[in-house]
A and B are shown apart, each in its own frame.
Chain A
Amino acid sequence: MSPKESNTETMSIFSPQLSARFDVLVAKYPVKRSALIPMLLYAQDEIGYLSDAVIAEVAERIGITQLDVRNVATYYSMLRFKPAGKFNIQVCTNISCMLRGAYELYERFQDELHIGHKGVTSDGVFSLEEVECIGVCCWAPAIQVNYAFHDELTPNDVPKIISEYKSKANGSVKNA
């Protein structure tokens, strides 16, 4: 059986650009399901989280069951099943960052945003997460906002970072 993606395009919940990207991805590897993990990540980037509809469509595009997709997706810490904020602030508190004040930084984010680990602000702009090592140890302490790194931070940098992203969020609302 070789499932063809004849109908997925018209029924897709993804943008035409992402659909096109998925068509490339499923053809890129010697085995189709090698595309699964990147597809889930890119789908999450666009939709915000792995909703039932995302899982259903990805399963269909690859030709595996939804259960199989869930089984894989639950393994990876970057994949989520609930919406996060528009900007997901991930503060690394692992050893190299901890030694250079990561917990003070993380506390400051909690105080400024009034949310804790995996919390989302009421306007949906920010979410906060304490994460494991993000590979920026020599420039600690560091955070990732979505995919963007900010390194060599002090707690006093926190308000500036928040206002910088807040204005980005406002800008995108105006443009929309």
Chain B
Amino acid sequence: MPRLVSHPDEVKIVTKRFGMGAANIDKYMELGGYESLKKCIAEGPEWVINEMKSSGLRGRGGAGFPTGLKWSFVPKQSAKPKYVLVNGDESEPGTCKDHLIFLHDPHAVIEGTMIAGLAIGAKTGFIYLRGEYRYLLEITEKAVADAYEKGILGKNVLGSDFEFNVITQSGAGAYEVGEESALMESLEGKRGVPRIKPPFPAVVGLYGGPTVINNAETIASVPHVISMGGAAYAAVGSERNGGTRLFGLSGHVERPGIYELPMGYNLKKMIYEVGGGVRGGRKLKAVVPGGSSTPVLLPEEIENLGMDFDQVGKAGSMLGSGGVVVIDDQTCMVEFALRTISFYAHESCGWCIPCREGTDWLKKSLTRFHAGFGTEKDIDNIQYLAENMMGRTFCPLGDAAAMPTIGFVKKFRKEFEDHLNGKPCPFAKHVELAVV
């Protein structure tokens, strides 16, 4: 069972009910649950969208798009039904925050979905969980059934004339489905290949209807934004980055876990104080700041780095999904790069050639390189290949594979050179990787 951790610097908003049995609907309501929904029904859609806009809440899936603005793009009138789609296909390596949300506070996801539905004028919401999260799907399904029984979901929500239904859905193993258009394809019972944009989902989405797609953490934050008020929520975070984030510390860190910290929290402090430093008192070699697709950062780059979308972007990486992977000085970065690209090669859906071929060739080159058969020219080729994948695919998976690879080659070129001329890897434990 995933362990809960805590640290005095945490600001518990989304996690405030964790470990309190809030998966039980009575407990959830005793702790103030569904009060935000009541308030939203009373105040109406326009008020909700304005609160969301003033909260500065930005998409927690990785792109960081302002949530209130996204909701406002949905046309008021639509011939086809509108939908809310919650993305719980959490699959980015280094990311496990939604796991805890569904485990400890599934009703917050339901309440957030309903508020989103009210705001955009939808009557149906879908909560999509990755297939591996079966036990979390069961917890969520129970929560949905309980909400129907209490008259929270259904025809007359809490006695009002607002109608809303929630449908849960299971995936069956696919990273690509975390991309919003592939997610809609999967929910329609198809292969999870991306759609071309435009049209954007807010106009033509699920079953052709206008659709808002939000990450599970974003949706779980919504009831808290409403109960605190948009302005108060915004004040917790940094400039243009409202609220808190569930940061997942993993890898070579003394106290790994999910910590809820204000947006803009210093990364160095996060690793050394919140996470207790590098495991075994070793030296820090590198940090992947926001899930495996975000370019690696060096220790000197994190000194004054605040963890929000803008500051990490300025530092040449991305805040992504908030999965902070700590890497110590005993790690081979060529192996790390290889393991990262192996994942993307495995997950590329094959729809776009630059991604399908690019990830495969990067994996082949890095495999050969790590085994000691690389040439000087390979180092440049790897970078050249990765650079030519950027921006040439329907969805961001190609970029997600290319960006970290470019980062590894640029920042750890010396380690690549150390593998040349048949020299054995100075760190190697595992030269061959089995995942095919």
Q: Which residues of A contact B (CB under 8 A)?
A: 28-31, 33-38, 40-41, 62, 71-72, 75-79, 93-96, 98-100, 103, 106, 116-117, 130-140, 144, 147-149, 151-152
Q: Which 7 A-B pairs have the closest CB atoms?
A: A78-B173, A33-B189, A77-B173, A76-B172, A36-B189, A96-B250, A147-B134
Q: Which residues of B contact A40 (CB under 8 A)?
A: 172
Taken together as a complex, chains A and B put the C-alpha atoms of A133 and B2 apart, in Å, by 15
Contact B250 A138, beta carbon cutoff 8 Å: yes
Q: Is the CB of A76 within 8 A of B124?
A: no
- A95 near B336 with CB under 8 A, answer yes
Neighbouring B residues of A132 by C-beta, 8 Å: 91, 93, 175, 343, 346-347, 435
Report chain A residues within 8 Å CB of B248. 137-138
> Are A137 and B95 CB-contacts (below 8 A) given A72-B190, A76-B131, A93-B435?
yes
- Is B292 within 8 A of A78, CB to CB? no
Judge whether B257 is part of the interface by a CB distance below 8 angstroms.
Answer: yes
Tell me the complex Cα distance, A130–B170, Å: 22
In the complex, the chain B residue whose C-beta lies closest to that of A77 is B173
| Contact across chains for A136 and B96 when beta carbons are under 8 A apart | yes
Do B132 and A78 touch across chains, with their CB atoms under 8 A apart? Answer: yes
Q: How far is the CA of A139 from the CA of B94 in the complex (A)?
A: 10
Whether the Cβ atoms of B189 and A99 lie closer than 8 Å is no
Closest residue of chain A to B206 (Cβ to Cβ) is A30
A95–B94 CB distance below 8 A? yes
Pick the contact of B99 from A99, A117, A135, A152 — CB < 8 Å?
Answer: A135
Neighbouring B residues of A72 by C-beta, 8 Å: 189-191
CB atoms of A99 and B325 under 8 A apart = yes
How many residue pairs, one in A and one in B, have C-beta atoms under 8 Å apart? 164
For the complex, would chain A's binding face be called helix, strand, loop or mixed by DSSP majority? mixed
Q: Contacts A78-B132, A99-B326 given; 7 further ones with Cβ under 8 A?
A: A37-B186, A38-B169, A40-B172, A72-B189, A76-B174, A117-B435, A139-B256
A137 proximity list for chain B (CB < 8 A) = 93-96, 248, 250, 256, 323, 325
**B326 proximity list for chain A (CB < 8 A):** 99
Cα(A133)–Cα(B95), bound, Å: 9
Give every chain A residue within 8 A of B169 (Cβ-Cβ).
34, 37-38
Selected from B98, B207, B288, the residue in CB contact (under 8 A) with A95 is B288
Q: With A134-B132, A135-B99 as given contacts, are A31 and B94 in contact (CB-CB < 8 Å)?
A: no
Measured between beta carbons, the chain A residues less than 8 angstroms from B188 are 31, 33-34
The residue on A at minimum CB distance from B347 is A132
Residues in B64-90 with C-beta less than 8 Å from chain A:
81, 90
Q: Which residues of A contact B258 (CB under 8 A)?
A: 138
Q: Return 23 A-B CB contacts under 8 Å, by A number.
A: A28-B167, A33-B189, A34-B169, A34-B188, A37-B169, A38-B172, A77-B173, A77-B174, A94-B343, A96-B94, A96-B250, A99-B251, A99-B327, A103-B429, A130-B435, A133-B92, A135-B91, A135-B130, A135-B133, A138-B96, A138-B256, A139-B257, A152-B3
Judged by a CB distance under 8 angstroms, whether B252 is at the interface is yes
**Which B residues lie within 8 Å of A98 (CB)?**
336, 339
A117→B436 CA distance, assembly (Å): 9
Rounded to whole angstroms, the CA-CA distance of A129 and B91 in the bound complex is: 18
Residues on A with beta carbons closer than 8 Å to the beta carbon of B429: 103
Write the nearest CB–CB distance from A139 to chain B, whole angstroms: 5
Q: Is the CB of A147 within 8 A of B189?
A: no
Q: Which of B377-436 contact A (CB under 8 A)?
A: 429-430, 433-436
Q: B93 and A138: CB pair below 8 A?
A: no
A140 touches B256 (CB 8 A): yes
- One of A76, A103, A116, A140 near B430 (C-beta < 8 A): A103
In the complex with contacts A135-B133, A139-B3, A130-B172 CB distance below 8 A? no
Contact B186 A30 (CB under 8 A): no
Which B residues are CB-close (under 8 A) to A34?
169, 187-189
Q: Which A residues lie within 8 Å of B266 (CB)?
A: none
When distances are taken between beta carbons in the complex, the residues of chain B under 8 Å from A138 are: 2, 96, 248-250, 256-258
Q: How far is the CA of A30 from the CA of B173 in the complex (A)?
A: 23
Q: Are A94 and B292 in contact (CB under 8 A)?
A: yes
Q: Which of A33, A75, A131 contacts B349 (CB 8 A)?
A: A75
B131, B258, B288, B292: which has the most chain A beta carbons within 10 Å? B131
- B227: Cβ under 8 A from any A Cβ: no
Tell me which residues across on chain B come within 8 A of A36, comparing CB atoms.
189
**How far, in Å, is A126 (CB) from chain B's closest CB?**
17
Q: In the complex, A134→B347 CA distance in Å?
A: 13
Q: Which of A31, A33, A75, A135 contacts B132 (CB 8 A)?
A: A135
In the docked arrangement, what's the CA distance between A95 and B251, Å?
8
| Bound CA span A70–B305, Å | 48
A45–B288 CA distance with the chains assembled, in angstroms: 36
Chain B residues, Cβ within 8 Å of A94: 93, 292, 339, 343
The residue on A at minimum CB distance from B169 is A38
A37, B250: Cβ atoms under 8 Å? no
A93 to B331 alpha-carbon distance, docked (Å): 15
